[in-house]
Structure formats: structure tokens, C-alpha cells
Amino acid sequence: MKIPEILIVETIHQPGSLASVLLVIAEAGLAIEHLTALRRDQGRTVWEITLEMDEEADRSLYDRIDQLPNARFVGKSDRVFNRHRGGKIKTVASLPINTLQVLRDIYTPGVARVCLAIKADPRAAHEFTNLDNTVAIVTNGTAILGLGNIGPLAGLPVMEGKAALFADLVGLSGVPILLSETHPDRVVDIVAAMELSFGAIQLEDIAAPECFEIERRLRERVAKPVLHDDQHGTAVVALAALLNAARQAGRSLKDSVIGQIGLGAAGTGIVRLLRAYGVAHVLGADRSPDAIARVVALGAEGASLQEIMARADIVIATTGVKGLIKPEWVRPGQVILALSNPDPEIEPLVARERGAAFAADGKGINNVLAFPGLFKGALSARVSHFSDAMLMAAADAIAKLAGSDELVPDPLDKTVHERVTEAVHAAAIGGIPGSDPQ
């Protein structure tokens, strides 16, 4: 597994000093993810260099840098941990509480009037509380990132990250909910018991196959938007990328043969949305016969890994297995999305070198492009569920905002999230036919 390694290196401020450090890194076969100058004084510059290194990679790189005549390895940075220190989110008041009158209005005795108004008409909660801006981010920690079943507490940094993105990108309040329960019956009961606190529910990093049953039953039980992001958020962004890849390749997406390798939560969600979009021929491969049976029930065809590589025009992989796709299997003109994080099934550069028309990994095809606008649009429309029409509207909006040579746009461009929100809202209130994403 690749992890970020953040080096602190001091160089003499003269031509070639930094270049000699970068050459040592290149000779080690490593790519630089980020480079910044932290400070410069007395003829020396201190650099922060972010690399992605396998956990088992040779760390003698540090000694080789230290042996350079014009550089010194200072140590490693704790930048990632520093940005997590104390957590990434907090709850703040939406108005200043600076007089006794304000205190009495927002708390006792004034708040009693609002409570009684909501008791008389529960719809008033939408106007006089933060309900329409609040999302529960629920996990039981059984499928955290590419790390697997590491438990809910270890998954809390991911849930806080989701909440931070909700707040920054679309102004929603995301509340992490950690469950020490894995049985679907009890997970559904727990979430249903607390659903009144939230306007919508985002299920996150819950393992397959339990995630399918949990989402389905919650949709049946609560009258508010419920979405398992690993399934549907990933599917939306994958569809957006494929719309652009097919357009740039001069190919009809609906008439293409698409192969999905890995039929867990993300893979099954992608197959389901592609079929709903109208793709006629989808192949699915997985080690689990039950997983293949699920996508066959959706109208896909079961296949092996090598059959997909031999037959598919477009290949999508969500297996979590680094290097699964052998370079020699890539056929000229194929589109390959190797979406597993942190390590893809095949590096995009390798796939392109073998003739792929387009190739991308999970760093670019990331569900952060979808879930903020999906939830903001659903909450603003006050709908009781997500529909396929809403998912496809989000995918179409994302695809249209990409540059001419891009598959998807910049996920930090807030205009993208505004447009996705608008598209989802319009699809939600427009009565566009579409089945529920089950």
C-alpha cells in the first residue's frame, strides 16, 4: 500500500542543489506528489517534499540525500497528522450570542414557542431548525477506504473528512455516527431510531454484501434521502468520466461493451447505474459467485477477468488489488478506469503506454465530485428518496464541467458542486421518471 511520506530537506541556495535531491528521488523510482519551500534564510532553503511510497520501500533514500554535498536530510514532517490534530470539524453557532436578549430568544424561554410550533406542525422543523442542512454520516467501520475492516473508531478520520467536505463545498453539517454493530437488522434499527435528528443519511464504508440490505431496508423504513456513497457516489463519478471518455473517443457509451472487475459496493453500484443509464452490454467479474449473481439480476453478464480484458471496450476496476491488471492484457483503444485507492489495479501511465485511449485512477475519479451536491440537491428539494434521475443528472453535470481534455473537473471547484446541486434539485422536483437506486 502506498502512503504519503513527507520529507524535510535543506539545500544550499545555489543552482543545482534542489535538482540533485530530485535526481536521487527519481533514481529511487519515486514520483513527487508535492513540493514547497518552507523557508529560506542564511543562504539555505528548507523544502517539504511529499512522495508516495510503498510501506516496504527502501528508505535508504534518506541517507543518499544526506550524503549530497549541497543538501541535508532534516527529517520527516508530521503535516498529515498536524492537520488532523484536534479533529477536522466543529459545531459553531449560526448567529452571534452576544446579549441576554439573544440568549433568551434562542434558548429559554423563547425557544419554547418554536418547540410548540413544531409540535403543532412538524413541517415547521424545516424552517426553524438546521434539519435541511444536516447529514448523518454513518459507518460501522467494516470497509474503510482500502484498509478493510479496521473498526468504526479507526474510521472516524474518514467520517470527519466527509463532514469537512460537506461544510466547505456545499455548506452542509455532516455528523459522524460510529456504530459498533455489524448485523444488518441491528444497524437498520439503530439508524432508524435516530433518523429524526437528520435531514438525510449517508451510509459510508460499510462492507458488501451487508451494505446492500442495510441501504434497501433503510430506504423502506425512513422517509428521507438515504444513500450508500461507496455504491452510488462512486457510480455517479464513474458515469461522468465515461460520458467524456466515450465522447472523446468518438464512441457511443450505450453501445459499448463495458467490463466491471470487482463487484463489491462500488462495482455493483457502477453496474446498476450503467444499466439504468441504458448501457446494453455490461460484463461483471468477481471471485464471489453471489456477487456475480447480483449483477446478472441487474441485466449484466458474468465473466472472468481475462474475458473482460479481451472483450470490453471500457474496463472499470474496483477490486482493491494492486497491479491486478497485467500490462499485456491492455488492448489498443480501450478505456481503463482503475479506481482502487490507494493503489490502482494498473497505473494509468502504464495503461496508456500499452495503448489505452484513456486511463485514470481513483485519485482523479473521486466521489467527492458527487456526494456533496447530491445531498445538497436532495435536501433543498425536500424529497424523501434519491432516484436514478437524480444520480444521472449529477453525472451529466459533472461531465459537462470537465475541460476539453479532462474526464472530470477539479473537485475543489465550488462551481462544480453548485451545478451538481442545481441539477439534482431540478431532477428531484421535475418528476423525471427514474427508479430508486436499489
Annotated active-site residue 107? The verdict is yes
Q: Are 271 and 282 in contact (CB under 8 A)?
A: yes
Give a three-class secondary structure readout of the chain: CEEEEEEEEEEECCCCHHHHHHHHHHHCCCCEEEEEEEEEECCEEEEEEEEEEECCCCCCHHHHHHCCCCEEEEEECCHHHHHHCCCCCCCCCCCCCCCHHHHHHHCCCCHHHHHHHHHHCHHHHHHHCCHHHEEEEEECCCCECCCECCCCCCCHHHHHHHHHHHHHHHCCEEEEEECCCCCHHHHHHHHHHHHHHCCEEEECCCCCCHHHHHHHHHHHHCCCCEEEHHHHHHHHHHHHHHHHHHHHCCCCCCCCEEEEECCCHHHHHHHHHHHHHCCCEEEEECCCHHHHHHHHHCCCEECCHHHHHHHCCEEEECCCCCCCCCHHHCCCCCEEEECCCCCCCCCHHHHHHCCCCEEEECCCCCHHHCHHHHHHHHHHHCCCCCCHHHHHHHHHHHHHCCCCCCCCCCCCCHHHHHHHHHHHHHHHHCCCCCCCCC
The answer to whether 162 is a known catalytic residue is yes
The active-site residue, picked from 2, 76, 107, 326, is 107
Selected catalytic residue, list 162, 224, 277, 376: 162
Q: Are 395 and 239 in contact (CB under 8 A)?
A: yes
Catalytic residues: 107, 162
